[in-house]
Structure 1
Amino acid sequence: MSLKSVFVAAAAAAVLAGSAFADGAHKILVQDQYARVSSPAAKAGAAFMQIVNQTHADDRLIGVRSDVAAKVQLHTHRETDGGVMKMMHVEEGFAIAEGATHMLKRGGDHVMFMGLKRALNHGDVVTLTLVFEKAGEVEVEVPVDLERKAGGHGGHSN
């Protein structure tokens, strides 16, 4: 076998191996995450982030866990028949299509901490475990940012 044939065969094998790995990988990217509370004595708080589905299939965020609060849930704001915005638990979770980004943001979908076990101070870090139907569990370090304005992006990534 010539040197050229060996090189071509090795290059083809590397390309095929890389494609197989990429196709089989479930990768969820979480970026720009942050948490807030309304006051130092608050018993509730929330976390916000961008979730990017870089997998090759639609997925769904179905749960979230953290030891920072007695209860941690996926929440959203919905308008009632009377025109009042109400925050509510989203038991079915949030669908995230293949290649799509789902925003968890103030006034919309978010992670809700109820019964905080400790104060969340500016600069603290909260560990969250996001649970997806297909991608499984993704652990995220979420900085507490009490100075961020609504709609602001601080460039945090994970």
Structure 2
Amino acid sequence: MTFIGRSLLALALLVAASPATFAADIKAGDLVITQPWSRATPGGAKTGAGYLTVQNKGSAPDRLVAVSGEIAGHIEIHEMAVTNGVMTMRPLEKGLEIEPGKTVALAPGGYHLMLMELKSPLKQGDKLPVTLEFEKAGKVAVTLEVQPVGAKGPGGEGGSMMKHEHKM
């Protein structure tokens, strides 16, 4: 086998073993949910965050209105923003709209799921079942895969993640 052939084979095996390729897309009505993940937390931490991407392939908007899961006392949909150098985080009381034909990424530094009153620390490799509730698509079971502390995306430290549209 040539050097190029071996290189292509090694690359194919690396991509096939990537954690991001293990999770299948989750379809709910016109929505497609991908890359659900979280970060490990230090012992004693009472909060964590969850991230994912939602694409609306339909012609009408939908809205993420609630999230629940056994790992936390309650889970809120949050927005983080930096305005005039001041970081603010707030719950989205009316949920998060996913416009038709658009993709919304819940990612570090923007929209995210705030896991509050954690019942135990989140450990790398854990799988956290949560239920997303949409106005139109209804309830959808999703599993957040816990990545290392400080991970930037669903593949761990070097994972890639789509940026959401919110300017910071």
TM-score bracket, shorter-length normalisation: 0.7 to 0.9
**Mapped pair 1:143 → 2:145:** yes
CA deviation map 1:8-64 (0-9, x unaligned): xxxxxxxxxxxxxxxxx8232111111114413211100011111123321111111
Instruction: State the match for 1:67 in structure 2.
Output: 70
Q: TM-score normalised to the size of structure 1?
A: 0.74
Closer, same or farther in 2 for the Cα pair 1:34/1:153, shift >3 Å?
Answer: closer
Which amino acid in 1 is paired with 2:141? E
CA deviation map 1:139-158 (0-9, x unaligned): 101111115632x3528xxx
Instruction: State the match for 1:50 in structure 2.
Output: 53
CA deviation map 1:117-147 (0-9, x unaligned): 1121110111111111111111101111115
Q: TM-score normalised to the size of structure 2?
A: 0.70
Closer, same or farther in 2 for the Cα pair 1:134/1:67, shift >3 Å?
Answer: same
Where 2:147 maps in the other structure, the secondary structure is: coil
Q: Which whole-Å CA distance do the structure 2 matches of 1:115 and 1:64 have between them? A: 14
Q: Which whole-Å CA distance do the structure 1 matches of 2:45 and 2:31 have between them? A: 31
Larger Rg: 1
1:40, 1:121 within 8 Å by CA — same for their partners in 2? no
Instruction: State the match for 1:5 in structure 2.
Output: none
Q: Which whole-Å CA distance do the structure 2 matches of 1:35 and 1:149 have between them? A: 9
Divergent runs of 4+, >4 A: none
Where 1:39 maps in the other structure, the secondary structure is: coil
Query: For structure 2, which runs of at least 5 residues remain unmatched after alignment?
Result: 1-27, 160-168
**Mapped pair 1:34 → 2:37:** yes
1:77, 1:87 within 8 Å by CA — same for their partners in 2? yes
- Measured on the aligned residues, the alpha-carbon RMSD in Å equals 2.0
1:45, 1:112 within 8 Å by CA — same for their partners in 2? yes
Where 1:32 maps in the other structure, the secondary structure is: strand
1:1-158 pair list within 5 angstroms: 26-79=29-82, 83-146=85-148, 149-150=151-152, 152-154=153-155
How many residue pairs get aligned? The number is 129
Query: For structure 1, which runs of at least 5 residues remain unmatched after alignment?
Result: 1-24
Closer, same or farther in 2 for the Cα pair 1:59/1:143, shift >3 Å?
Answer: same
Identity level (%): 37
Where 1:107 maps in the other structure, the secondary structure is: coil
